[in-house]
Chains A and B, each alone.
Chain A
């Protein structure tokens, strides 16, 4: 198809005078309020990319479990060629400018942002360097000076916008800030991003209603803006938003740039109205620069090299299509590759004399739109900005404080989620009632020995099964946020660990009460008060062990499926060595040793002792009634090998062990989330 075909029109007189003819009536009326609430008042920043060449091994980027699923053996994993993802890229952006990276999918937009923020994986920089304010970019430097807004919004769904921001503010702002200052900062950011009308609305997610998609995007930006960074990097901020919202978001970003910040964003298919808002544009194709310069000069540039943009065409679309590689057939691929290469060469030729590598209209040396506007801002710093200095980190809140904030956040989020709590409660009660009534002692009759034993074992092994699935699913849903926040240096692992472990206790407690108490009462177990409490605490510990195990598994393994499969396998191992399905003394060496860490075994032995120690049972065999003291029953199942307190101690030990493993996994395993398999 001939893409340059325009449409010729003959103008005719208007025929519908009834329709309002105000051509100036803008489609997109931005919010009236155009003032800047919150400017960046630190020193201006410069981001430079010099002659960057970057290679990626595509094979190495596929995670190991996907390779296993394809039956690829470990020794075949790292074969594959290096492909060039970036070829001699030059770039210079300064504070007050907004640069948009555009290009077709696969052109290297996201890769570029990842390299700049030092989050690249599987590739290596062949040559060139990235400088932030003249210093070589490193993880530390990026953490301190760059705010990275990711494509997916990772926010706790049940907190309101204001709460979300105040929790982050507590973590992110230096300790020297007073509570008022912190609140003020939150309010400023809310005002700056026009979030006032939804400040008290839940954030929400795909399953829970909350703020709209565009607002959620802005909350993500607000989270990063809180600490007043000089450089803001956004990956596809407009994807998934409708046209009005996207337009407004980009206006917001350009306003942020006017507030003396450096804004860098990648965008796929910008609409024409959005394209017109950009200051600077970088057009990439397979890692090569096709154009970099002001947005409004782009059409002029391409016209000057012989590619005019047709009248009814969006220049961004038109030139992205012009420079994208067509893989439909071999010939087309070669042809388009050749065109891209020559375009990149032409551009390289044109800008090689400029030190900022931007194409400029020759005749009148127009200035960049940036520096002017940023000077005009009334620089009345609202308060001391955070300086990008080395010793600034020391001012940030420390462990204990982080812990308190995280705990508070965790609990607030969980308790707002009423429906999930209700479902879990309902699940517990339903299971309790089923088991309770199934073993319901008729007319005060005692349960038979066999049934009592079976009940004691089932009671201890059904709940853990349900708990494991719940915990693994929940941890994996939070994993992406944890990964990003740890990466951003918002807090460290230790406070998170303690906040998570302690934050789960109330829910755990409630669950065990709902589950365990009705069964005990319905099935008419040992009526002693002390027995009731001992039984309850044993149940509590057993369920806690399985919870800790699930936490460990979900932190250790990369996907929901693998985590739940492995925790199921571990659980089954504990189940088989629990002493009920298979007699303990018939186990051979290996499973026998496994049975020492089987929390179900210790729980079972414990409740057996609690139940039977002081009771005597009567059974009838051939009309002879035999009294069986409880001790014999305990002995017959080998549950008396260790005293009762040993059960308690070992259970505490096992759960502590799982928690330590959980901590180590959090610490040393990347919590990168890969939700879909």
Chain B
């Protein structure tokens, strides 16, 4: 954490002086044999070895490609090196950087890890994306320094021609896939890491772009960095670009060395790469296990084993071990090359995140329109069916009003849910990744999100109220309109917050939306008293109703609307006692349905608004839990 008192002098010292040695890394997982309903096999566990005694050594200026069929442990090896491996299994072996072993919390600060999927905010330009990342990572630097850094990184990755183009998403176009991948890499370069790991950087790109990316990466490596990538089916043209090629199979390192060594090693083993075939493909196939039939599996496995044995006997492997040992011995002289990182204060991080989220949304036309219009559309839907309220009980004075209250409660929370489900998962993915990079904590991103929705939510509820309140003919006093807005704002926000909290622990947005929708309906059923009178409910449900925001919101809305309202009964002023018109005025209705509500209004408001901070804390807790869940 105390990496850079003076970045400029430190970099000079570090020149060509970084090495990484991985020594005998093994990783095993204990898994349950059967699915949960098969009790007997569920309780049997078996140990699966994912990595077995992997050792290699690399120095600055080198690029290494890890090859292997799917399931051979490429990604796990990267995870293990970068210290991102979960607590599920047991990790043995050591990773040394410059001869000193890393502590658990130092991994994050030493390695940059570019994941297979780019998660970038779609509406920011390339320059903005990098600038915000720089601001989060290096806030103690001056504005100019940050700007310079961003420009130099863009030059390095040849992104200058798209610097002011938005990144783009699924529906609308922005920069190309290859450029997007380069932005992801650039975001990592901002922190000047000495060791960069990339998981399948070429997957999903066409061959030209893939080759270009690998070429760029090799150039990055030449500038005194260590680059390690895992790669699936590389083209043969890339053969010479790699300084080191590691082939994995079944968690074992079958071979590691430079391309010439690879060809001659396999030649020596008696497997000559045939003419006109891609040596990468050939050697990967040669060293993978074919599991289609038992015999083939045994045969191919023994072949792999023989090659591994040959590699262990080879000079390359012995040299690697010597390097590692000599490195360990000379550890006193060199420092661990941490990434540049001056952790800004938590508040300023929050501010940067907030600005970034706002900037992203401000260009998202459909997102803004959706946020603002959904409530209005819903209001107009109700207006279309209702047109105008009546004061005659026989013509639905009570029933329709309660109906409106019910719709305002249910509808606004449902639109909140829709907003969160549509817009938040993309941000969540970015938060997951950047928090792993150590830029910020997940809950800070969440808080920035909550802050930036507040004005939109208020505005959209005002629009909702304005389009329903006067047309339908609710109580026309201006203060009551204010109360109405205040009481509908909370359900709208709660709908969104509740969804956010659940999105923290459940990944699939479809399940979340169905679940939260039912939760909201249940809340209305239990808490509102519109569908089931509160006094006659079974006791348990009465207790539960106290923890539903619908209870307070509904009580306010009912009192707000019915207080001092006079009803007629079939055209005349009713005198009461009539079976058809049980109420003559609103106060009677309030007293029968919500006894004592009139005196509780302030209390109701306090309770209602207390839900917001509580729920925000709930969201933060849920994202703290997510920290544990995601750390795999």
Comparing B53-61, B121-129, B275-283, B435-443, the segment that makes contact with chain A is: B275-283
Task: Among A23, A71, A328, A591, point to the contact of B208 (Cβ < 8 A).
Answer: A328
Bound Cα distance from A245 to B445, whole angstroms:
44
Bound Cα distance from A12 to B263, whole angstroms:
11
A71 CB contacts on chain B under 8 angstroms = 365-366
Structural contact, B237 and A321, CB atoms closer than 8 A: yes
Counted as pairs of residues, one from A and one from B, with CB atoms less than 8 Å apart, the total is 227
Comparing A281-289, A379-387, A621-629, the segment that makes contact with chain B is: A621-629
Task: Among B235, B281, B313, B576, point to the contact of A16 (Cβ < 8 A).
Answer: B313
Interface flags, A626-642, vs B, CB<8A=1, else 0:
10100010001100000
Bound Cα distance from A69 to B422, whole angstroms:
14
Bound Cα distance from A15 to B290, whole angstroms:
26
B155 interface hit (Cβ, 8 Å) = no
A536 interface hit (Cβ, 8 Å) = no
Bound Cα distance from A493 to B257, whole angstroms:
61
Comparing B189-197, B379-387, B481-489, B599-607, the segment that makes contact with chain A is: B379-387
B526 interface hit (Cβ, 8 Å) = yes
B274 CB contacts on chain A under 8 angstroms = 272
A312 interface hit (Cβ, 8 Å) = yes
Task: Among A20, A447, A450, point to the contact of B270 (Cβ < 8 A).
Answer: A20
B406 CB contacts on chain A under 8 angstroms = 581
A313 interface hit (Cβ, 8 Å) = yes
Task: Among B172, B273, B290, B403, point to the contact of A580 (Cβ < 8 A).
Answer: B403
B263 CB contacts on chain A under 8 angstroms = 7, 9, 312
B206 interface hit (Cβ, 8 Å) = yes
Comparing B75-83, B321-329, B532-540, the segment that makes contact with chain A is: B532-540
B480 interface hit (Cβ, 8 Å) = no
Bound Cα distance from A179 to B216, whole angstroms:
63
**Nearest chain A CB to B495's CB is how many angstroms away?**
15
Given contacts A16-B269, A622-B577, contact A434 B525 (CB under 8 A): yes
B260 interface hit (Cβ, 8 Å) = yes
Structural contact, A585 and B365, CB atoms closer than 8 A: no
Size band of the B side of the interface? 35 or more
Structural contact, A273 and B285, CB atoms closer than 8 A: yes
Bound Cα distance from A23 to B267, whole angstroms:
10
Structural contact, A1 and B237, CB atoms closer than 8 A: yes
Interface flags, B137-179, vs A, CB<8A=1, else 0:
0000000000000000000000000000000001110001000
Structural contact, A7 and B259, CB atoms closer than 8 A: yes
Residue of A nearest to B290 (CB): A244
Bound Cα distance from A450 to B269, whole angstroms:
87
B522 interface hit (Cβ, 8 Å) = yes
Interface flags, B203-224, vs A, CB<8A=1, else 0:
0001111011001000000000
Given contacts A23-B270, A70-B172, A273-B285, contact A105 B580 (CB under 8 A): no
Interface flags, B275-306, vs A, CB<8A=1, else 0:
11111011011101010100010000001001
Among B207, B273, B533: residue with most chain A CB under 10 A:
B207
Task: Among A1, A312, A451, point to the contact of B215 (Cβ < 8 A).
Answer: A1
Interface flags, B403-424, vs A, CB<8A=1, else 0:
1001100000000000000000
Comparing A358-366, A398-406, A436-444, the segment that makes contact with chain B is: A436-444
Given contacts A269-B233, A576-B381, A591-B385, contact A243 B284 (CB under 8 A): yes
B296 CB contacts on chain A under 8 angstroms = 29
B306 CB contacts on chain A under 8 angstroms = 18-20
A305 CB contacts on chain B under 8 angstroms = none
Structural contact, A454 and B532, CB atoms closer than 8 A: yes
Interface flags, B359-371, vs A, CB<8A=1, else 0:
0000001100000
Task: Among B176, B239, B271, point to the contact of A7 (Cβ < 8 A).
Answer: B239
A668 interface hit (Cβ, 8 Å) = no
Task: Among A272, A327, A576, point to the contact of B281 (Cβ < 8 A).
Answer: A272
Interface flags, A63-101, vs B, CB<8A=1, else 0:
000100111000000000000000000000000000000
B507 interface hit (Cβ, 8 Å) = no
Interface flags, A315-345, vs B, CB<8A=1, else 0:
1011011001011100000000000000000
Bound Cα distance from A9 to B267, whole angstroms:
10
Comparing B40-48, B393-401, B463-471, B554-562, the segment that makes contact with chain A is: B393-401
B531 interface hit (Cβ, 8 Å) = yes
Given contacts A438-B526, A621-B577, contact A7 B260 (CB under 8 A): yes
Structural contact, B277 and A314, CB atoms closer than 8 A: yes
A474 interface hit (Cβ, 8 Å) = no
Structural contact, B396 and A583, CB atoms closer than 8 A: yes
A462 interface hit (Cβ, 8 Å) = yes
Residue of A nearest to B307 (CB): A19
Structural contact, B579 and A626, CB atoms closer than 8 A: yes
Structural contact, B533 and A451, CB atoms closer than 8 A: yes
Structural contact, A16 and B171, CB atoms closer than 8 A: no
Structural contact, B310 and A16, CB atoms closer than 8 A: yes
**Nearest chain B CB to A456's CB is how many angstroms away?**
11
Structural contact, B269 and A69, CB atoms closer than 8 A: no
B69 CB contacts on chain A under 8 angstroms = 242-243
Q: Which residues 6-40 of A sit at the B interface, judged by CB distance below 8 A?
A: 7, 9, 11-12, 14-16, 18-23, 27-29
Bound Cα distance from A271 to B288, whole angstroms:
16
Residue of B nearest to A628 (CB): B579
Among B211, B236, B399, B510: residue with most chain A CB under 10 A:
B236
Structural contact, A14 and B267, CB atoms closer than 8 A: yes
A304 interface hit (Cβ, 8 Å) = no
Structural contact, B538 and A324, CB atoms closer than 8 A: no
Structural contact, A104 and B580, CB atoms closer than 8 A: no
B318 interface hit (Cβ, 8 Å) = no
Structural contact, A326 and B208, CB atoms closer than 8 A: yes
Structural contact, A632 and B579, CB atoms closer than 8 A: yes
A390 interface hit (Cβ, 8 Å) = no
**Nearest chain A CB to B177's CB is how many angstroms away?**
11
Task: Among A69, A312, A321, A587, point to the contact of B279 (Cβ < 8 A).
Answer: A312
Among A23, A458, A583, A594: residue with most chain B CB under 10 A:
A583
Given contacts A321-B208, A581-B403, contact A272 B278 (CB under 8 A): yes
Structural contact, A70 and B385, CB atoms closer than 8 A: no
Structural contact, A104 and B268, CB atoms closer than 8 A: no
Structural contact, B237 and A272, CB atoms closer than 8 A: no
Bound Cα distance from A236 to B215, whole angstroms:
28
Given contacts A66-B171, A70-B171, contact A312 B273 (CB under 8 A): yes
A486 interface hit (Cβ, 8 Å) = no
A272 CB contacts on chain B under 8 angstroms = 274, 276-278, 281-282
Task: Among B285, B288, B399, point to the contact of A583 (Cβ < 8 A).
Answer: B399
Structural contact, A14 and B395, CB atoms closer than 8 A: no
B390 interface hit (Cβ, 8 Å) = yes
Bound Cα distance from A63 to B6, whole angstroms:
56
Structural contact, B260 and A16, CB atoms closer than 8 A: no
Bound Cα distance from A573 to B264, whole angstroms:
75
A354 interface hit (Cβ, 8 Å) = no
Structural contact, A451 and B532, CB atoms closer than 8 A: yes
Structural contact, A271 and B270, CB atoms closer than 8 A: no
B620 interface hit (Cβ, 8 Å) = no
A675 interface hit (Cβ, 8 Å) = no
B12 interface hit (Cβ, 8 Å) = no
Interface flags, A129-173, vs B, CB<8A=1, else 0:
000000000000000000000000000000000000000000000
A645 interface hit (Cβ, 8 Å) = no
Bound Cα distance from A313 to B70, whole angstroms:
22
B15 interface hit (Cβ, 8 Å) = no
B208 CB contacts on chain A under 8 angstroms = 104, 321, 324, 326, 328
Structural contact, B538 and A440, CB atoms closer than 8 A: yes
Bound Cα distance from A315 to B278, whole angstroms:
9
B595 interface hit (Cβ, 8 Å) = no
A3 interface hit (Cβ, 8 Å) = yes
Residue of A nearest to B178 (CB): A328
Question: Sorted from nearest, which 4 A-B pairs have the closest CB atoms?
Answer: A583-B396, A21-B270, A272-B277, A581-B403
10 contacting pairs across A/B (C-beta < 8 A): A19-B270, A71-B366, A243-B281, A244-B292, A272-B281, A437-B541, A448-B533, A576-B386, A582-B386, A628-B579
Other 7 A-B pairs with CB < 8 A, given A271-B233, A313-B278: A243-B285, A273-B277, A438-B525, A469-B514, A580-B403, A586-B395, A621-B576
